Amino acid sequence: MSDLVLRPFSWGDIPAITAIYRHYVETSTATFDLEAPGHTYLAEKFGHMLDAGHPVIIAERGGEVIGYAYASTYRPRPAYRFTCEDSIYLREDAIGSGLGRTLLTELIVQSRTFGFKQMIAVITGEQDRSIALHEKLGFRHIGRHEKLGLKFDRWLDIVHMQLAL
């Protein structure tokens, strides 16, 4: 990962983010979205995070976006303002390269700096690599919801993990 660059989000990243996320919507259970959102929706979503000052990190190699991570308020009610939920998505050819760990490590640092006190991971139960990554970085299991979502004609569990920041 010698030429890897981690940098803040910029508006020009929206097409790459849209393409990366579309892959997960259409081929995996990592997200419960059933239809891939377009550029406009994702620009609005990322705009809200930018307005709030939340950490949004872009991973780039050779001038191409190969992954992204963000931490945003876990729930919209004001009492949750110090608790964030993390999200990490990698381009398919970057999976297994250690990029997920690099992004999550930096996201934890930036989330602490922002002032978040707790980070929650909400992970589909069959996403073993994501669960293992969070465990390696100190997250603890706090619950499992069985058969919470239906995607690809299968009922899926959700695992909740938590890290004090």
Q: Which of 43, 92, 50 is nearest to 71 (CA)?
A: 50
- Continuous H helices in the chain: 14-27, 39-52, 99-114, 128-136
Helix 39-52, helix 14-27: angle, nearest 10: 110
* pLDDT tier for residue 116 given thresholds of 50, 70 and 90: very high
143-157 per-position pLDDT tens digit: 999 999 999 999 999
Domain-wise residue ranges, the chain: 4-164
* pLDDT for the residue numbered 153: 97
4-164: CATH topology is Aminopeptidase (3.40.630)
pLDDT at 1 over 60: no
d(CA 126, CA 128): 6
What's the whole-model pTM score?
A: 0.95
Say what the pLDDT of residue 2 is. 67
Nearest to 104 by CA among 163, 61, 160, 63: 163
